[in-house]
Amino acid sequence: MKLWACLSTWVLCLTLAIGSAGAQPTGTPSYSLRVGGKGFTEQLLMAEMTSLLLKARGYDVITKTGLASIGIRREQVLGLVDVYWEYTGTALVVFHNVTGKFTPDKAYDRVKELDAELGIVWLRPSRVNNTYALAMRGADARREGISTISELAQKVRAGKQYRFATSTEFYFRPDGVEPLERAYGFEFGPENVKRMEAGRIYQMLRDSADADVGLVFSTDGRIAAYELQVLIDDLGFFPSYRLTPVVRQSAIDRFPLLPGQLNALSEKLDDEQMARLNGMVDIQKKSVRDVASFFLELSGLL
């Protein structure tokens, strides 16, 4: 009887252990899920939302933000970052050097296919298309009759000079300043291009005469708050930049529930919502953590 009792206890413990592993109470003490993010507001918010969501699901999470596009990509390829949110256009053009015209769906399909070969999985894309854009002070754009990049280019070719504020990253990107100028057939001129941290551009456009045109993110809440006018990309130079959770296959193998959990967050996001959240940080000066927590609770994810 004692032997039978011991055997029964052993079988029960083994069954519970197997059941627990299958149910996946997500993170394990032996492994921390590494969440990454770039250095601007939207990316800080996405990294914080992801970290809070996954911690609430039981994962042990390490969060690392402030990386540039090339830097965070390198870290993910090397296995130093398990998950972060990337933009389809950035991956296609910057990481894979693929150019040409793609519909948003085709761009997503293509980059998903290319990254699968590297063990990197693109999950469900959100409805956020945070494309690069050129913007002017609204009053200046109306006064000069400029509503498209082609109209800006025409003014420059006619001899008008505009001082352009851009991020350092965009200055060097293959979908950056020089390719944009070539596509539209004009040049700001090296003396008229000012490189700076991306967040300073909005303040400079609003408050300073040192810049006439600035590079902006289309989902930035400061565009409307500062009465800036985004110039229409009438030649379709910029590709689609759909914000999407990107995960290493090895992390999915370890945590099979992870894709569904991240997809649940992705489907809650759109351009209007993202601009609102960005504005809460950049204009209302709320903390990234407070805004991330607010959105997760509002969406029923916490």
Tell me the per-residue pLDDT of 169-222, one tens digit each, with 9 for 90 and over: 999 998 899 999 999 999 999 999 999 998 899 999 998 778 999 999 999 999
CA gap 123, 245 in Å, rounded: 6
Tell me the per-residue pLDDT of 2-30, one tens digit each, with 9 for 90 and over: 333 443 444 334 333 333 333 344 444 46
- Which pLDDT does position 30 carry in this prediction? 63
Mean predicted confidence (pLDDT) in 285-291: 98
**Contact by Cβ (8 Å): 114, 269:** no
Query: Which percentage of the chain shows pLDDT scores above 90?
Result: 85
User: Which residues touch 227 (CB under 8 Å, ≥6 apart)?
Assistant: 137, 138, 139, 206
* Strand-by-strand arrangement of the 61-67 sheet: 61-67, 33-38, 83-87, 243-248, 120-122
Q: Which residue has the tokens 């708050």?
A: 225
Q: φ and ψ at 16, to 5 degrees?
A: -65, -40
What 8-state DSSP symbol labels residue 191? Answer: G
- Which pLDDT does position 10 carry in this prediction? 40
**Contact by Cβ (8 Å): 25, 183:** no
Helices (H), the chain: 2-23, 41-56, 69-78, 88-90, 104-116, 138-144, 149-157, 168-172, 177-184, 198-207, 222-225, 249-254, 258-266, 271-282, 288-298
Q: What is the mean pLDDT of the chain?
A: 90
Which of the listed CATH numbers 1.10.10.1100, 3.50.50.60, 3.40.190.10, 3.90.1150.10 matches domain 33-129+241-298?
A: 3.40.190.10
Mean predicted confidence (pLDDT) in 214-232: 96
- Which pLDDT does position 174 carry in this prediction? 87
Domain map of the chain by residue range? 33-129+241-298, 132-230
Tell me the per-residue pLDDT of 108-129, one tens digit each, with 9 for 90 and over: 999 999 999 999 999 999 999 9
Evaluate whether 33-129+241-298 and 132-230 have a shared fold.
Answer: yes
CB atoms within 10 A of CB 210: 10
pLDDT bin (cut points 50, 70, 90) of residue 100 is confident
What superfamily does domain 132-230 belong to in CATH?
Osmoprotection protein (prox); domain 2 (3.40.190.120)
